[in-house]
A and B are shown apart, each in its own frame.
Chain A
Amino acid sequence: MAPDYPGRVILGIDTSLGSAVAVVEPDGVIRSQVESADPRGHAEVIGTLIERALAEASVSPYDVTHVAAGMGPGPFTGLRVGIAAARTFALGRGVPVVPVASHDAVALELLIHDALTGGYEDAVDETFAVVTDARRREFAYTLYRGLDDDGLPVRVTEPALAPRDDLDAVLANVGAARRDADRIPAGMLGLAAARALAAGRTIGPADALYLRSPDVTLPHAPKRVGS
């Protein structure tokens, strides 16, 4: 191992929108963050992104102590690629997966940004919604308000779906500001995992946040073919 290897890093993987991979130190320093904005093609890029994130962070797979997995919500087909990758990477190294709701990463980034730019007092009380495209004329959203003592965003409601045209009314009802996101910052995903680990807490769901049942139509009686 090279002397400047930290020897202990968290690998963050999220494919709920584009594909994003980051390497984060346990104290929260983001050593690398790489991504592909393509809303499809997750399976094509995931291996290369993991390899690049490790290389840019100057770490080897042996330095990874935890894998943070973005559990969604997100379009199913892409979302699964990152979760599958996070699980097998962790299996390969014999280390645990730390599941994180993908919206938590966006909320954490917004809250840290607010804290750094001095909007501190407003930011504490403001309820806001992280909003992502859920396709089929729907948005996925999660309501947040401030950071807790562990430095993690406080989820006011769990991730849910709303029709595109209804979302603004839904948010106005609860007095939440709308914060649209078109990418998930994998570094923040890793940071949320680091803070959860430090606090000894489980913050994400064990299974993918699909929010929708699979599309299936029950078979009808065989249709007549006529004679």
Chain B
Amino acid sequence: MNRAEPLVLGIETSCDETGIGIVRGRTLLSNTIASSMDEHARYGGVVPEVAARAHLEALQPSIEAALAESGVALADLDAVAVTSGPGLAGALMVGVGAAKALSVSLEKPLYAVNHLVGHIAADILDADAPPLEYPTVALLVSGGHTSLLLVRDLTTDVELLGETMDDAAGEAFDKVARLLGLPYPGGPEIDRAAASGDPKAIPFPRGLSRASDMAKHRYDFSFSGLKTAVARWVEQREAAGEPVPVADVAASFREAVVDVLVTKALAACRDHGVPRLLLGGGVIANRRLRDVALERGAAEGVTVRIPPLSLCTDNGAMIAALTSELIMSGRAPSTLEFGADSTLPVTEIQVAESA
């Protein structure tokens, strides 16, 4: 195995994107994504069984497309990588089964890795960015997760500072979009509606931000109360026979989400003396979140890193990138004895490492 610049194919199927990535060392060769998002639109959220069926159909064509794009032959690979968790169990299993058989078929080592840590590794593939420095705080926000991490070393030491106690931030966008009569996915729709709204029009609550919450949940998030507050506000308007100012509701809701995400992330930076914040996850597509993070980060002397959006959403390249780092740091492959772990803790960067 080439440990200096390993050629790795990564398979990611934890939610609704079938991601196949190919990297050589820290160089991105292909980031192929097939999304089943359109199939979920009519249900207003990701339907696990629909996602899992779509993975099975998309997997082989996606691998073939990634190989064609990168000009890599399967026989040239140094290793196969796969997401073991966290994520939707049935969806993860498709990738796990596929990766194991590919590894045995090619007689190449297999690495089973953590999806959340993969999001951090995505940053390494950004050719235009300076090298990732440690320690860094990482804020990962998507439809499936909202996590605040302290990364001392990507391959050995990632600590969970906090996470959402109920809905993921992306889910909150979807649910509020629905109650405003906007289509799925909610993020871009809320953004569009918010463009002409006043973010200060309605003082929606910031979850787990009161002094009494901060002792136990300093870095945790909660968005279900916010969603309920928006629903109640809209209902009261309707009951009074008044029009609902969709733009103001969208802008004020979005501001509440962004404010709490950025406030807690910067608090983590301050508390741990870490002047670096890395953003990841599909919700980073939200322009307001990026702008507020950059602006308030700069004001507090925190450098905010934002990988290109194609690397922020779920993808296989980040799984390959994390595995490439594991290989370069001398780690042994995983055994074949692992499964899909829908609640894999972030401290388990690699699973089933062979002795």
What is the CB-to-nearest-CB distance from A219 to chain B, in angstroms, rounded to a whole number? 4
A113 interface residue, CB < 8 Å from B? no
Q: How far is the CB of A209 from chain B (nearest CB, A)?
A: 12
A43 to B47, Cβ gap below 8 A?
Answer: no
Which A residue's beta carbon lies closest to that of B106? A92
- Pick the interface stretch among A27-35, A80-88, A125-133, A155-163: A80-88
A205 at the interface (CB under 8 A from B): no
Report A26-47 CB contacts with B as 1/0, cut-off 8 Å.
0000000000000001111011
B93, A81: Cβ atoms closer than 8 Å: yes
- Using CB atoms, name the residue of chain B closest to A54: B104
Contact of A47 with B103 at beta-carbon distance under 8 Å, contacts A91-B63, A227-B232 already known = yes
Cβ–Cβ contact B50 & A214, under 8 A: yes
**Bound complex: CA A15 to CA B97 (Å):** 11
- Check: B59 CB closer than 8 A to any chain A CB: yes
Q: Mark A59-78, 1 if CB is under 8 A from B, else 0.
A: 01100100000000000110
Residues of A within 8 A of B175 (CB): 222
For the complex formed, measure the closest distance between the CB of B127 and the CB atoms of chain A, giving whole angstroms.
29
Q: Would you call A85 and B98 a contact (CB within 8 A)?
A: yes
Which of these, B44, B101, B340, contacts A50 with CB under 8 Å? Answer: B101
Q: List the B residue with the shortest CB-CB distance to A82.
A: B97
Q: Is the CB of B228 within 8 A of A225?
A: yes
**Binary contact readout B47-76 vs A (1 if CB under 8 angstroms, 0 otherwise):** 101101101110110011000000000100
Contact A43 B339 (CB under 8 A): yes
Bound-complex Cα distance A199 to B235 (A): 68
Asked whether A224 is an interface residue with its Cβ less than 8 Å from the other chain, the reply is yes
**B:335-349 near A, CB below 8 Å:** 336-340
Chain B residues near A215: list those with CB within 8 A.
47, 49
Tier of interface size on chain B: 35 or more
CB interface residues, A 186-227, toward B, < 8 Å: 207-208, 210, 214-219, 222, 224-227
B94-133 interface with A by 8 A CB criterion: 94-107, 110
Shortest beta-carbon distance from A156 to chain B in Å: 28
Query: In the complex the two chains form, what is the Cα distance from A64 to B106 in whole Å?
Result: 12
Inter-chain CA distance A217–B42, complex, in Å, is 10
The answer for the CA separation of A182 and B105 in the assembled complex, in Å, is 28
In the complex, what residue of chain A is closest to B89 when comparing beta carbons? A77
How many angstroms from the CA of A214 to the CA of B336 in the assembled complex?
30
Report Cα–Cα, A171/B33, bound state, in Å: 46
CB-based contact B339/A44 at 8 Å: yes
| Contact status of A47 and B178, CB under 8 A, knowing A81-B94, A225-B232 | no
Contact partner, B96, options A43, A218, A219, A224, Cβ 8 Å: A43
- Tell me if A93 and B97 are in contact (CB < 8 A): no
Docked CA distance A215–B49 (Å)? 7
Q: Which of B60, B92, B93, B338 has the most CB of A within 10 A?
A: B93
The answer to the question of A89 belonging to the interface, with a C-beta cut-off of 8 Å to chain B, is: yes
Neighbouring A residues of B100 by C-beta, 8 Å: 43, 46-47, 50, 85
Contacts of B92 in A (CB 8 A): 43
CB atoms of B239 and A77 under 8 A apart: no
Docked pose: A224 CA to B59 CA in angstroms: 40
Q: Which chain A residues lie closer than 8 Å to B99 at the CB level? A: 88
Which residues 88-122 of A sit at the B interface, judged by CB distance below 8 A? 88-93
Asked if residues B56 and A216 are in contact (CB atoms below 8 Å), the reply is no
A168 CB–B CB distance under 8 Å: no
Of B90, B104, B228, which contacts A51 at CB under 8 A? B104
B residues sitting closer than 8 Å to A (CB atoms) are 42-45, 47, 49-50, 52-53, 55-57, 59-60, 63-64, 74, 89-90, 92-107, 110, 175, 178-179, 228, 231-232, 235-236, 239, 336-340
Q: A43-B100, A91-B105, A219-B43 are in contact. List 15 more A-B contacts (CB 8 A).
A: A15-B97, A44-B337, A46-B101, A47-B104, A60-B107, A77-B90, A80-B93, A80-B97, A82-B97, A84-B95, A87-B60, A88-B60, A208-B53, A216-B47, A216-B49
Q: 16 A-B residue contacts at CB 8 Å? A: A42-B97, A43-B96, A44-B339, A46-B101, A48-B336, A76-B53, A76-B90, A80-B94, A84-B95, A87-B98, A88-B102, A91-B74, A92-B101, A214-B47, A219-B43, A222-B178
